[in-house]
Amino acid sequence: MGEQKKVGHAQHLKAVNHPIRRKMLTFINEVEKISEKDLLEKLSNNNILDDENMFRYNMGFLIQAQCVEKIDGENGTSYKILPGGKVIENF
């Protein structure tokens, strides 16, 4: 059984206070779960992010900070908001 990695407060703040990551969390929180394709499209359409490498970097940060869960399914990758990401509701 794997150990749950504890996320420090500073790392969590760094994750949710970044403007791009905050928008990502907002979009995911609106629907609870979103496909990677739809999220990328939404970010691009709102002129927030259109570089896939930058998306992966920021999403990796949100996953590591336990704000978002990555779900790999047969229909592709999707992302689900976690309690740590719901803090965005307070902004």
**Domain edges within the chain:** 9-86
pLDDT score, position 4: 43
Least-confidence region, from 5-9, 19-23, 61-65, 81-85: 5-9
> Does 67 score more than 90 pLDDT?
yes
- Structure-token match 């359409």, residue found: 45
pLDDT score, position 88: 65
Domain 9-86 class in CATH: mainly alpha
**Considering the chain, what is the average pLDDT of its residues?**
87
Find the largest Cα–Cα distance for the chain. Answer: 42
Distance from C-alpha of 32 to C-alpha of 46, rounded to nearest angstrom: 19
pTM of the model: 0.85
pLDDT score, position 51: 92
